[in-house]
C-alpha cells in the first residue's frame, strides 16, 4: 500500500523537476480508445506508419504493453511560443518549422526528467515502473485526458485551460496503486476553428484525422515524394504544421514556455530557404544536431525545402534548384524538377 500523501508528493516533485502539469489515472480508464484505434488503422488513416499496426495491441491499453501496470502518471511540459507561428506563412522566402522542433529535442529533455522522477519515486516507495515519451506504443493523449491534464480537442491533440494546445506529454507506468484524478471536462463546445484551419482538409470529422492528408505526416513521416495534390498546400511549411493548434481559441490563455531549451533557436525562427536548400548531409547533421528535425535526414528535409521554393513564386531561386536536378537522391531530384517547373 502506498502512503496516503504519495499522490501529492509525486505532483510536487514533478513540478519541482520542471513539469508544468501532472495527473494520475488507471490503465483501465481509456474507454473506447482501443475501438477507435482499430477503426483508424482499418481505414488506412495511419498511412505508411506501419509501426502503429504492428504494435496495435500494445498501444491500445497500458496493460497491453505492460500487464503489471496499476497506475499511469501523466506529465505535461508547456512549449508555448512567444508569437503566433502562422505569421511566418506570409514570408515565402523563409521556411516555417513547427514550433515544437525549433528548439532542443523535447524527447531528450522529457526523458531525462522522467528518469529523475522515477528514481525519486523508487527511493520513496519501492516499485517497478517504466517511462515513456512519444516513441513507445503509448496512447499519451487519451491517457493525459483521463488523468485530467486537459481534453482531446477536435484536432485530436490535447487542449488545456492553462496552456492551450502547447503541451508535450510524458508517461510513467507503475505497479503502485495510486488514486485516479477526475477526467477533465470537455470544453470545445461548438467551435470548429481547428478543423477549418487545416490547409489540406485532413479532418474527416471532429476528432478524426486522416494522417495521409496531414502536413505534419507529409513532411515528416512520408519518405516518398509528397503527392502532387498537396504540394501547393504545403506553402512554406518545411517541417510539420501548427495551423490547427494555433487556431485554438484556448491559446489566448496560454503562456510562453518557461523552459529555455524549448525556445526557438535563432537560426530556426525564420530560416532562409536559400540557405537550407544548399545543405548536404554533413552540414544538415551539424545544423540540426540535438534537434528532432535530424531524424528525417537531409534528403527528406531538402525535399520539403524545394516544395517551399516551388511555392514561393521567386525565380531568383532557379540557380539554387539547378544543381539538385541531378542530386543522388531520387526524391530530391523529383522535388527539384517540380520546383523548377513551378518557377519557370
- Residue numbers annotated as active site: 134
Between strands 208-209 and 71-78, the pairing is unpaired
CB 58 within 8 A of CB 137: yes
Cell reading at 104: 532542443
CB 333 within 8 A of CB 302: no
Cell reading at 330: 531520387
Task: Report the alpha-carbon distance of residue 110 to residue 136 in Å, rounded.
Answer: 14
Cell reading at 10: 509525486
CA neighbor of 217 nearest in space, from 197, 203, 196, 207: 203
CA neighbor of 276 nearest in space, from 88, 95, 92: 95
Task: Report the alpha-carbon distance of residue 135 to residue 58 in Å, rounded.
Answer: 13
CB 273 within 8 A of CB 306: no
CB 290 within 8 A of CB 107: no
Residue 213 makes CB contacts below 8 A (sequence gap 6+) with: 200, 201, 202, 230
Residue 102 makes CB contacts below 8 A (sequence gap 6+) with: 81, 263, 264, 265, 268, 269
Cα dihedral value 283, 286, 287, 292, nearest 10: 120
Amino acid at each position: 500500500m502506498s502512503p496516503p500523501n504519495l499522490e501529492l508528493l509525486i505532483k510536487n516533485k514533478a513540478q519541482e523537476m520542471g513539469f508544468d502539469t501532472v495527473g494520475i489515472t488507471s490503465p483501465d480508464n481509456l474507454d473506447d480508445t482501443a475501438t477507435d484505434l482499430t477503426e483508424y488503422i482499418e481505414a488506412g488513416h495511419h498511412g505508411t506508419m506501419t509501426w502503429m499496426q504492428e504494435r496495435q495491441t500494445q498501444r491500445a491499453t497500458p496493460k497491453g504493453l505492460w500487464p503489471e501496470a496499476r497506475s499511469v502518471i501523466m506529465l505535461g511540459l508547456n512549449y508555448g511560443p512567444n508569437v503566433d507561428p502562422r505569421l511566418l506563412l506570409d514570408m515565402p522566402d523563409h521556411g516555417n518549422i513547427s514550433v515544437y522542433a525549433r528548439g532542443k529535442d523535447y524527447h531528450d529533455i522529457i526523458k531525462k526528467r522522467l528518469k529523475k522522477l522515477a528514481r525519486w519515486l523508487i527511493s520513496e516507495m519501492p516499485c517497478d515502473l517504466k517511462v515513456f515519451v512519444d516513441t513507445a506504443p503509448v496512447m499519451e493523449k487519451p491517457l493525459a485526458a483521463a488523468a485530467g491534464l486537459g481534453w482531446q480537442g477536435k484536432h485530436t491533440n490535447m487542449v488545456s485551460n492553462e496552456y492551450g494546445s502547447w503541451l508535450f506529454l510524458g508517461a510513467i507506468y507503475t505497479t503502485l496503486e495510486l488514486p485516479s484524478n477526475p477526467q477533465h471536462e470537455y470544453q470545445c463546445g461548438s467551435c470548429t476553428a481547428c478543423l477549418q484551419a487545416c490547409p489540406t482538409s485532413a479532418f474527416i470529422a471532429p476528432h478524426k484525422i486522416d494522417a495521409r492528408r496531414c502536413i505534419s505526416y507529409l513532411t515528416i513521416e512520408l519518405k516518398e515524394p509528397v503527392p502532387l495534390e498537396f504540394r501547393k498546400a504545403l506553402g512554406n511549411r518545411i517541417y510539420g504544421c501548427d495551423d490547427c493548434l494555433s487556431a485554438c481559441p484556448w491559446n489566448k490563455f496560454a503562456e510562453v514556455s518557461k523552459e529555455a531549451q524549448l525556445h526557438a533557436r535563432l537560426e530556426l525562427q525564420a530560416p532562409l530557404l536559400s540557405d537550407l536548400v544548399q545543405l548536404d548531409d554533413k552540414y544538415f547533421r551539424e545544423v540540426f544536431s540535438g534537434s528532432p528535425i535530424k531524424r528525417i535526414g537531409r534528403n527528406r528535409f531538402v525535399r520539403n525545402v524545394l516544395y517551399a521554393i516551388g511555392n514561393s513564386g521567386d525565380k531568383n531561386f532557379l540557380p539554387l534548384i539547378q544543381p539538385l536536378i541531378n542530386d543522388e537522391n531520387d526524391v530530391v531530384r523529383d522535388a527539384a524538377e517540380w520546383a523548377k517547373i513551378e518557377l519557370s
